[in-house]
Structure 1
Amino acid sequence: MSASTALRAAALVTLTALAGACQADGSPDAAAPAGGPTAAPTTVEPAPATATPSPPTAANTVEVCAEVDKLIIAKSKEIAADAAAATRRQLTPEQINAQVKADLADLADDVRTQAARAADPEIKTLVGRTAQQLDAGARSATPVKWLNSTFVTIPPRLTRDCRA
């Protein structure tokens, strides 16, 4: 498999994972499942008055988590666009690896900035560890392979754990 084909495959896997994972909270911006029609909206019944109130959360958890989602989606789109450009420009595997490493390093820095903003210590740790994972991808000898194996696990974990 050529390097540009591998990068296209990585971008496709990444975007597919993001479509199913990021913003799976039912918000209007939630992505539709890849390859399928969007589901009919469901009505959410208000919680009964006797329900136990949810525990208090840090004031900016929602904003930090939403911003991390946006950063990952934007950078994934950039990686996909770069994959298409790499094919047209016939980049070497070394050039492609350098491009992916730079994208991951930039994303790690942006995510680290969000970790520093987080008021909730658990969210700060979760987002900080995500930045560390992205750093590892940027240092990887095979960043395209890292995208397919590790990067695709990040959005589902954040969707599950980075919520108020």
Structure 2
Amino acid sequence: MSRSVVYARRAAATVALGVLAVGCQDSAREEAARGGATPPSPTATASATAPSPSPVATTAANTAEVCREVDRAIVAGSRRIATDSAASVSRDLTGEQVADQLRRNLAKLADDVRAQARRAADPQIRALIEDTAERIDAGSRAPRPAAWMDATFTGIPPKLTRECRA
């Protein structure tokens, strides 16, 4: 097996595992978005006399939901990358085949992230997520996507953790 194939597989697996670890912060973010409280019961929210949520509360809820879904998309995409990387060993793929597979996975991930950007009510959050999708798309077009993942992709989840919040 060539050195570049081994490097590509190792890089993809390492990055994917790192992203999966960051994705575990999703539950903490979800709890914080709820303010640490238990969600209201369905009967409490079904009251006809309950006031309508304010636009700010609605935007905050939308932001929390969209950010959570972006996290999920990145974790799912990272799992796909790790699974395909591991499977490429048994399939004895060439370096270029591994790179093409990684490009396809990154393009799918960018599409999934972009779909969440369209749902964002907050223009700043929409711009952040669109920028994230563009950055992932750049990786799908990179001549060496595994090197791009090492250099760039690893910084995406921490940035989203810091900036994607209500």
Taking structure 2 as the reference length, what is the TM-score of the superposition? 0.76
Aligned-residue offset at 1:27: 2.5
Larger Rg belongs to: 2
Alpha-carbon distance between aligned partners in 1 of 2:68 and 2:30, rounded to the nearest angstrom: 11
| RMSD of aligned residue pairs (Cα, Å) | 2.2
Alpha-carbon distance between aligned partners in 2 of 1:8 and 1:154, rounded to the nearest angstrom: 19
Equivalent AA in structure 2 for residue 70 of structure 1: R
Q: Is the 8 A contact 1:4 1:96 kept in 2?
A: no
> What residue is the counterpart of 1:154 in the other structure?
156
Aligned-residue offset at 1:14: 2.9
> What residue is the counterpart of 1:22 in the other structure?
23
Alpha-carbon distance between aligned partners in 2 of 1:100 and 1:10, rounded to the nearest angstrom: 8
User: Unaligned 5+ residue runs, structure 2?
Assistant: 37-55
In the alignment of these two chains, the number of paired residues is 139
Taking structure 1 as the reference length, what is the TM-score of the superposition? 0.77
Q: Is the 8 A contact 2:113 2:133 kept in 1?
A: yes
Q: Is the 8 A contact 1:8 1:80 kept in 2?
A: no
Alpha-carbon distance between aligned partners in 2 of 1:101 and 1:90, rounded to the nearest angstrom: 18
> What residue is the counterpart of 2:99 in the other structure?
97
Equivalent AA in structure 2 for residue 145 of structure 1: A
Instruction: Give CA-to-partner distance per residue, 1:39-76, whole Å, 9 cap, x none.
Output: xxxxx8xxxxxxxxxxx461410110000000000110
Q: Residue 17 and residue 109 in structure 1: after superposition, are their counterparts in 2 closer, same or farther (change >3 A)?
A: closer
Instruction: Give CA-to-partner distance per residue, 1:98-120, whole Å, 9 cap, x none.
Output: 10000010111111110011000
Q: Is the 8 A contact 1:4 1:90 kept in 2?
A: no
> What residue is the counterpart of 1:60 in the other structure?
62
Q: Residue 154 and residue 60 in structure 1: after superposition, are their counterparts in 2 closer, same or farther (change >3 A)?
A: same
> Sequence identity of aligned pairs in percent?
50
User: Unaligned 5+ residue runs, structure 1?
Assistant: 31-43, 45-55
Alpha-carbon distance between aligned partners in 2 of 1:119 and 1:28, rounded to the nearest angstrom: 18
- 1:125 is aligned, of 124, 127, 145, to 127
